[in-house]
């Protein structure tokens, strides 16, 4: 199913973070990263020099909408890097997040030629192969709130309508920003909030493709019906939760019509005990970067 082959050989790897894991998470940890297996560089090599140059200059390349890209060097010593901040992110927080990532990613992937790191609201990747318009980089991370929606079918029905709309809106964005947020009713406890973003170098079709893959990875991992979750990929992000977790303005998506068989009415809404995940993420991003 996930048969992306090509020059980039980041291992296909999904790590799942459940609520329990998160409860003890140190927010300042740089937890979500994938070190590539396409080759290593040695200390003081031209590749390392180019990587250092690229990363220390990347922050000057802001497109104006939180996308950064820079390549340094040629041929086998060429280093290609890009970074993306969440589309509604405050520019200073974006730069702080990027500055932090460019220090930490080479620390956790100390000699790999390619790597991708996710800091919740910003991503950083570099490779020995061009990353612009390139869909081949692998390395997903999934976060999930392990609490189930009481009425899975109704929840997923509303969620999928919302996320399909956001996918289409994000993909239809321009070459500067492919970002969409929205909310809908239809969860057992009120609203569902969604966020979709692609790196803006992707075509509309590539963006759609990436978000669909993210969704498929999520569903095939068994998280259909969970009340919140995020899939980070090197080119896109798919996120939803029953709590609002973004700043951007949202469009309202009407909930789909109720199913023909009326589900049993809940006597009281389920407690929001499992809501730590995106809360933790939010704290990480707002608090410590």
Ligand X SMILES: *[C@@H]1O[C@H](CO)[C@@H](O)[C@H](O)[C@H]1NC(C)=O
Q: Looking at beta carbons only, is 146 or 284 nearer to ligand X? A: 284
Q: Looking at beta carbons only, is 219 or 251 nearer to ligand X? A: 251
Q: Look at residue 211 and give its three-state secondary structure.
A: helix
Dist CA 110 CA 174 (whole Å): 35
Q: Looking at beta carbons only, is 201 or 241 nearer to ligand X? A: 201
Dist CA 122 CA 96 (whole Å): 10
Q: In this structure, are residues 173 and 181 in contact, taking their beta carbons and an 8 Å threshold? A: no
Q: In this structure, are residues 289 and 281 in contact, taking their beta carbons and an 8 Å threshold? A: no
CA nearest to 117, candidates 263, 215, 10, 200 = 10
Query: H or E stretch including 143?
Result: strand 140-148
Q: In this structure, are residues 116 and 139 in contact, taking their beta carbons and an 8 Å threshold? A: yes
Give the nearest distance from C-beta 8 to ligand X in angstroms.
15
Q: Looking at beta carbons only, is 6 or 222 nearer to ligand X? A: 6
Q: Looking at beta carbons only, is 86 or 147 nearer to ligand X? A: 86
- List interacting residues with ligand X (CB under 6 A): 39-40, 43-44, 48-49, 52, 59, 61, 63, 67, 69, 89-90, 92-93, 95-96, 99, 110-111, 121, 132, 183, 191, 200-201, 244, 247, 249-250, 252, 285-286
Q: Look at residue 92 and give its three-state secondary structure.
A: helix
Give the nearest distance from C-beta 255 to ligand X in angstroms.
12
Dist CA 124 CA 117 (whole Å): 5
Give the nearest distance from C-beta 222 to ligand X in angstroms.
28
Give the nearest distance from C-beta 12 to ligand X in angstroms.
17
Give the nearest distance from C-beta 57 to ligand X in angstroms.
9
């Amino acid at each position: 199913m996930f048969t992306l082959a090509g020059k980039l050989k980041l291992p296909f790897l999904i790590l799942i973070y459940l609520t329990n894991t998160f409860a003890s998470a140190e927010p300042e940890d740089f937890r979500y990263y994938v070190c590539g297996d396409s080759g290593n560089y040695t200390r003081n090599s031209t590749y390392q020099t180019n990587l250092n140059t690229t990363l220390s200059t990347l922050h000057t390349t802001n497109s104006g909408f939180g996308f950064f890209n820079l390549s340094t060097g040629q041929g086998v010593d060429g280093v290609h890097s890009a970074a993306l901040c969440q589309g509604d992110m405050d520019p200073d927080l974006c730069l702080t997040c990027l500055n932090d990532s460019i220090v930490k990613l080479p620390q956790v992937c100390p000699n790999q030629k390619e790597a991708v790191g996710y800091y919740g609201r910003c991503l950083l990747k570099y490779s020995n192969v061009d990353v612009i318009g390139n869909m081949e980089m692998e390395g997903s991370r999934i976060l999930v709130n392990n609490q189930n929606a009481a009425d899975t079918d109704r929840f997923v029905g509303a969620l999928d309508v919302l996320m399909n709309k956001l996918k289409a809106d994000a993909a239809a964005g321009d070459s500067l920003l492919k970002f969409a947020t929205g909310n809908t009713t239809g969860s057992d406890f009120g609203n569902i909030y969604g966020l979709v973003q692609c790196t803006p170098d992707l075509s509309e079709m590539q963006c759609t493709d990436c978000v669909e893959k993210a969704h498929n990875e999520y569903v095939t991992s068994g998280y259909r019906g969970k009340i919140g979750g995020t899939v980070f990929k090197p080119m896109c992000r798919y996120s939803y939760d029953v709590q609002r977790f973004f700043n951007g303005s949202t469009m309202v998506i009407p909930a789909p019509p109720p199913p023909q068989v009326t589900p049993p009415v809940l006597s009281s809404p389920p407690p929001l005990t499992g809501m730590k995940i995106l809360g933790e993420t939010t704290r990480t991003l707002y608090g410590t970067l």
